Amino acid sequence: MKNRARLSLRVPTPPARPGDAPDFSSIKLEAAGEVRRPEIDARAHDVSDLAYALIRVLDDKGRAVGPWNPKLDAETLRRALRAMLLTRAYDDRMYRAQRQGKTSFYMKCTGEEAVAIAASFALERDDMCFPSYRQQGLLIARGYPLLEMMNQVYSNAHDPLKGRQLPIMYSSKAYGFFTISGNLGTQFPQAVGWAMASAYKGDDRIAASWIGDGTTAEGDFHHALNFASVYRAPVILNVVNNQWAISSFAGIAGGNESTFASRGIGYGLPALRVDGNDFLAVYAATAWAAERARSNLGATLIEHYTYRVEGHSTSDDPSRYRPIDEAKLWPLGDPVERLKDHLIALGEWSEDRQQEAHREAVEQVKAANKEAEAIGTLGHGELPSLKTMFEDVFKDMPEHLRRQRQQMGV
Amino acid sequence: MPAMNMIQALNSALDVMLTKDPNVLTFGEDVGYFGGVFRVTDGLQKKHGLTRCFDTPIGEGGIVAAAIGMGAYGLRPVAEIQFADYIYPAYDQIVSEAARLRYRSAGDFTAPIVIRTPYGGGIFGGQTHSQSPEALFTHVAGLKTVIPSTPYDAKGLLIAAIEDDDPVIFLEPKRLYNGPFDGYPDRPVTTWAKLPAGEVPEGYYTVPLGKASVVREGGDVTILAYGTMLHVALASAADSGLDCEVIDLRTLVPLDIETIVNSVKKTGRCVIVHEATHTGGYGAELSALVQENCFHHLEAPVERVTGWDTPYPHAFEWQYFPGPARVIAALKRAMEA
């Protein structure tokens, strides 16, 4: 018998499970305005503290403070708020459509709207986004037609993806939105490749990609950071830490031991950690990274610290693995409310105007949905032509596929 | 016309395309300064510059993912995976991503990429430098799979693959890099130098994807082969004393079904030869295809001569390798049936 303790295996667990009181006591929040803003040409090594801090601009009273305040004009802020409201209204409508059996599946981004929408405001229109499945706000903020999104969700005759993809897995080259994969993180190193190509061609466009905290455990995350660092690719690599990967809390992905942003340090990339529920902070961090990328200074890793208010998808019941009221007590609040409060604090908005904007968003979604449902919903109404099933496997249809199509009689 | 071995022919193909099209780049582990462990990219960085031909981190998934991103941008990247045995870390990017971008985006995004990789046995590479993974790729909708067997074809097929708008898996039989190999390890080593297939034009030409080549005409039995096995098949045909028709498939997807079917209808017999393991190998697909299309013309069961269903053993390479003795035995079984 050896005179020392036996080993024991540690499996991390979240601070609270169903039936427990939500516990966010371990979260350390910097005050809004507290974190420094370095010059864009700062060396990664000299800004490593930012990978552990939390960049915040909006304070509890809705005021924008500190060096990261992007000082956006009121009209831009109002447009952003409307885009967030529209995204939320769209999510609500599509969620209900799934519950009504009109589509198979849906994923909301409730609580995370600022992540995608602030990024789309900070990026140029022709920059290429490589999103995960929870950045529908990018398309909405860029003005992609809601009707097209719905046609895709319903896999109806006008589905731009011809009934091939799961709902929510949009694709639009024209809107700089790369086709979404269900395999986690594959888009991260692809975005780096796209950015390398842009640099190779002497273009001025940059790429941006988004993954969740859980996906940082995938090999592709590390390939992306390494390639981005090695080739100084003009890309923004975003980790949306929404605390939950289906039922596994961020600690299982490795978030207990260090921040996700800190992963960038080992790769020599500047890394920012930002309050993902603060539109201004996300905007400012993205703009900083974008300017850096456009100045040929390479990639930035950004961790967006936020909370997934809803379930992972319509197939998930979060009350099975976390306290039912946890989302309400999330200490960084709601991104829509916070931007609204900011505009009101500026004297540029009001609760009445908010109500009116909300109604407008709901009406806009309703009108588009009426049109989409008239074309068809999953399995009902007009479908894409069956013969398109055999198209786009290759650029030109090879003989064996032509024969299979004939066998099917189309 | 200069004599080239397959390495030089592949190098020439890359050189021609790097010269012709600024959207072509090539990269991979040790590909740049050093010119590749098999020297396929030798001199290309010096001639075309650091950004056209460069080294990458050892991360196959990252290499292929970067190629996909570049392809989506509009470039035509040629990525090298140093050995086919190392392609598995990139498998998800190849299968779930490159193969499906066009389909899942309804033609909006495409991956016009080539993934080159040396494969196959016969070089005492053990079980990590000898595998033949072609069936893993031919099973995937959206990928083209190309396997040359001569320097001439290697160059023409690689240029065609680079110009192709779909993702292409380009498997190079490394045993054939320096010369043909007939499967008799005790015979003197031959080179490509004085063989017609080693006569390779210096400039641009293509060998179209999807066209098999009838390398030897005959009336008794059809042998279907590709890569190194093409040469084993030819030696076996010669040594068997039979009037064999030997077909080099050249591309497995798209497959030249017509040439195969016409030949088997003529001979009434079919022997399939490949290096990969037996069960679920590409030979199973070929066998089923022949059965579906030529059943009433067949005089004998379709024979498959393949690697065994084990990993590739270092010490027993020649027992594992489907050499002429096994091919000739299969030919005789086919004739006696």
Q: pLDDT tens string for chain A (410 positions)?
A: 678 899 999 999 999 999 999 999 999 999 999 999 999 999 999 999 999 999 999 999 999 999 999 999 999 999 999 999 999 999 999 999 999 999 999 999 999 999 999 999 999 999 999 999 999 999 999 999 999 999 999 999 999 999 999 999 999 999 999 999 999 999 999 999 999 999 999 999 999 999 999 999 999 999 999 999 999 999 999 999 999 999 999 999 999 999 999 999 999 999 999 999 999 999 999 999 999 999 999 999 999 999 999 999 999 999 999 999 999 999 999 999 999 999 999 999 999 999 999 999 999 999 999 999 999 999 899 899 999 999 999 999 999 999 999 999 98
- Using DSSP, state whether A307 is helix, strand or coil: coil
- Which one of B51, B68, B164 has the shortest CB-CB distance to A190? B68
Torsion angle of C-alpha atoms A248, A253, A255, A257, degrees rounded to 10: 120
Please report the pLDDT score of residue B337 as a whole number: 84
Q: Under an 8 A CB cutoff, do B254 and A220 touch?
A: no
All residues of chain B having their beta carbon less than 8 Å from the beta carbon of residue A161 are 104-106
> What are the tokens at B99?
């193969």
Instruction: Please write the tens of the pLDDT for every residue from A270-308.
Output: 999 999 999 999 999 999 999 999 999 999 999 999 999
The C-alpha of B319 sits at a distance from chain A's nearest C-alpha, in angstroms, of 36
Q: Under an 8 A CB cutoff, do B66 and A392 touch?
A: no
Q: Under an 8 A CB cutoff, do A193 and B69 touch?
A: yes
Q: Under an 8 A CB cutoff, do B109 and A190 touch?
A: no
> What are the tokens at B148?
């040359």
Q: Under an 8 A CB cutoff, do B62 and A196 touch?
A: no
Mutate to test the interface with B, among A151, A194, A394, A399 (most CBs of B within 10 A): A394
- Using DSSP, state whether B228 is helix, strand or coil: helix
Please report the pLDDT score of residue B74 as a whole number: 98
Please report the pLDDT score of residue B135 as a whole number: 98
Half-sphere exposure of A212 (CA within 13 A, CB side): 25
Q: Three-state secondary structure along chain B?
A: CCECCHHHHHHHHHHHHHHHCCCEEEEECCCCCCCCCCCCCCCHHHHHCCCCEEECCCCHHHHHHHHHHHHHHCCEEEEECCCHHHCHHHHHHHHHHHCCHHHHCCCCCCCCCEEEEEECCCCCCHHHCCCCCHHHHHCCCCCEEECCCCHHHHHHHHHHHHHCCCCEEEEEEHHHCCCCCCCCCCCCCCCCCCCHHHECCCCCCCCCCCCCEEEECCCCEEEEECCHHHHHHHHHHHHHCCCEEEEECCEEECCCHHHHHHHHHHHCCEEEEEEEECCCCHHHHHHHHHHHHHHHHCCCCCEEEEECCCCCCCCCHHHHCCCHHHHHHHHHHHHHC
Non-local CB neighbours of A377 within 8 Å, separated by 6+ positions: A97, A102, A103, A154, A156
The C-alpha of B60 sits at a distance from chain A's nearest C-alpha, in angstroms, of 9
Q: Are A233 and A192 in contact (CB under 8 A)?
A: yes
Decide if B129 is catalytic: yes
Which of the residues in chain B have pLDDT under 70?
A: none
All residues of chain A having their beta carbon less than 8 Å from the beta carbon of residue B105 are 161, 171, 173, 179
Please report the pLDDT score of residue B1 as a whole number: 84
> What are the tokens at B69?
């991103």
Please report the pLDDT score of residue B138 as a whole number: 98
The ipTM, to two decimals, is 0.96
> What are the tokens at B156?
């023409």
Q: Under an 8 A CB cutoff, do B69 and A179 touch?
A: no
> What are the tokens at A349?
């908005």
CB pairs under 8 A between A and B: 145
Q: How far is A407 from B250, CA to CA, in rounded Å? A: 27
Phi, psi for residue A177 in degrees, rounded to 5? -125, 105
- Among all chains, which residue has been given the structure tokens 């479908």? A383
pTM score over 0.95: yes
Mutate to test the interface with A, among B105, B113, B166 (most CBs of A within 10 A): B105
Nearest to B182 by CA among B249, B122, B224: B122
The C-alpha of A182 sits at a distance from chain B's nearest C-alpha, in angstroms, of 9
Please report the pLDDT score of residue A1 as a whole number: 63
